[in-house]
A and B are shown apart, each in its own frame.
Chain A
Amino acid sequence: MSAPAAAAEGARARRLTEWVYRVRELGIVVALAVLIAVTAAIEPRFIETDSLRNLALNASIFAILAVGQTLVIVTRNVDLSVGSVLCLSAYLAGDLLSGNQDLPLPVVFALGIALGAACGLFNGLLVTWGQVPALVVTLGTLYMFRGLAFLWTDGRQVNAETLPDAFLNLGSDSILGVPILVLFALVVLLVTGQWLRDYRAGRELYAIGSNPEGARLAGVRSERRVLTAFVLAGALAGLGGVLFTARFGTVDATAGFGYELTVIAAAVVGGVAIFGGTGSVYGAALGALLLGTITSSLIVLRVEAFWQQAAIGALLLVAIAFDRLVGLRVDAALRRRSARRAG
């Protein structure tokens, strides 16, 4: 074919792919905008800075967890144990601080994250070295870690009362109007996003999820990468735990109960393919924000509390169905183009 034609086709291809890669995030942003607009139309106070601030606040911890989950899902694995890991780290942080009010906070964070990472390492080793399917492993550790949390707390609870204000303020204060919690989430999001996008290790996670055997033939050190993904996911769950304590002050053995499905839901709504290879942490974070916003707006709209869960489920289904249809259309388009090229 002639050069200009090719160039044109190239351009089209570029536009198409750009679209494919961005559309999910766009989709959610639009959905969010609509949701907020509608809610605001009925209840203007919903878009007062104070309330928007709260939306971001509520979403930030879930966003952090969703980012971690994305790392794992992208490699064709899954981590069901996030909720339990979060609980462990949350209680650790609370326990340390109520034991010793003036423990330097960085230390607390470090320890909380370390504990999470350790749990992630445990999961990761079982998956890579033990060759046990991630679903089985993390379903098991979901129970084990939770049980350990119960054993450890043994009915005790950490109260805001016993925690240093400096720490609790992390959960409520803002810097230049942006809640500190949200800043945490943003930093995590951007760092991870960059890592996935601009570093070999990150790209290889996608390769592994996209074609495991191919990754092996291409000399990608799959096991090591998958292990990394699990450790990072664990560490982020740990961070989430510490922040959970900072925000809610009260922690007992039931903290983060049932989070796993919500977090996966957030990632999936955000366009992370459950079978790996595609999806971005930004999408996942937006997904978390969208789910949080729905809950809040349904409350504000005085919708019976009972509808909330149903709405979230429906949204999730719409999201994946939408993904699927877009995916099919794009595949068809790409195939037709390459066929033209061949013929």
Chain B
Amino acid sequence: MQAETATQGTPPAAAPAPPREGATRLRAALGRWEALLIGLIAITLIAGSALSEEFLTADSFTTGSLDLSEVALMALALTLVIVAAEIDLSVASMLALSSALMADLWNRGLPLELIMPICLVAGALCGAFNGFLVTRLGLPSLAVTIGTFALFRGLAYVVIGDESVTDFPATWTDRGFGNFAGTFIPNTIVLFAILAVAFAVVLHATPFGRSIYAIGANQEAAYFAGLRVKRIKLILFTLSGIVAALAGIVISLRNSTAAANVGQGFELTAITAVLLGGVSIFGGRGTILGVILALFLLGAIQKAILLSESISSYWIQIVTGALLVGSVLGPNLARRVSEMRRRHAHQHPLEEGQ
């Protein structure tokens, strides 16, 4: 209603003036969700520093971020997949497979410089396999990736069995564990930052990224607009595979251990981060920034609880879970309440409440 009246008569060309536009774009960039997350982070930082004077230190950042680096990497690609209204539960298993491959090839005496590309290719193949089953056979990605979740992890064990390889050259393991040029920022986080920027640009500024949103929000309409829905989804799953494989390399170097059992349960943590970052599980909504903030929040909470002498680490899970549910529930309830008020005020449609 207001929309109509607001522009009654005014020629559309004159509608939004450039400066206001900029403002709105800024508001869009820092949407309600991101604001919410920043608020939560602030609270966590305060609470954390109250719990332990060690909390607000470069050290906390270094180690805390190291702990999450692989999950963070995978969350980036996963964001794109989920925005496209699909899901990939097999990321952690692809990570393990990549690590296992790394171990096996290393035992066979290949140089790391050669092994790593091979792992990435393997990851790409795994991802493409997911994508193939989803796009060509039209199977639901939830079911498919539960299957490959088991398959890829299993293959990891087939490749390297119970062995774990720990004798990678220090030059590389240090790269995995060390900090960036004397700063307190771990190399892995620098890597993450680079990828984060890349993914943000792709998702938010390119036709490809725009297509992902369109597909996620309304696949049929996207197809009617001539977008290559299947191909784009295939690419996304492949991408997810490559990034997972990269994470596998990272974790192997960082822990200077490659084995088949690494990263169990990472998939759920990564998905948690993505959803907490404001990406809709139904697709079409969410930003990379939100996911980055969510990762930071998770890391901060984990660190705070670990550092506090009084709170047992069990609480990490409880708080994480509560946040995940609460972050979606809160806005819903808020909307419901405001709608109820509006309806009582000037009789608004019931329907939209549902």
Contacts and interface: CB of A to CB of B under 8 A. Distances in A.
Q: Do chains A and B touch in the complex (CB under 8 A)?
A: yes
B316 A132 contact: no
Given A261-B149, A310-B150, A142 B268 contact: yes
Size class of the A contact interface (CB-based, 8 Å): 35 or more
Nearest to B317: A147
Contacts of A111: none
Interface stretch (A5-13, A16-24, A133-141, A160-168): A133-141
B139 A133 contact: no
B147 A265 contact: yes
Interface string B33-47: 000000000000000
Contacts of B133: 317, 321
Interface in B146-180: 146-155, 157-158, 161-162
B329 A132 contact: yes
B18 to A, nearest CB: 38
B329 A321 contact: no
Contacts, number: 144
Interface in B302-341: 312, 314-318, 320-325, 328-329, 332-333, 336
Interface string A264-280: 11001000001100000
A114 to B, nearest CB: 22
Contacts of B321: 139-145, 147
B154 A261 contact: no
Nearest to B265: A258
A307 B154 contact: yes
B328 A132 contact: yes
Contact of B158 (A151, A310, A316): A310
B140 interface: yes
Interface residues of B, number: 49
B137 A321 contact: yes
A139 B328 contact: no
B151 A307 contact: no
A309 B142 contact: no
B143 interface: yes
Given A140-B321, A274-B140, A321-B139, A147 B315 contact: yes
Interface of A: 78, 126, 130-133, 135-137, 139-148, 150-151, 154, 258, 261, 264-265, 268, 274-275, 304-314, 316-317, 320-321, 324
Interface of B: 89, 133, 137-140, 142-144, 146-155, 157-158, 161-162, 260, 264-265, 268, 271-272, 275, 281-282, 312, 314-318, 320-325, 328-329, 332-333, 336
9 contacts: A130-B328, A130-B333, A135-B281, A147-B318, A261-B150, A310-B155, A311-B154, A313-B151, A316-B150
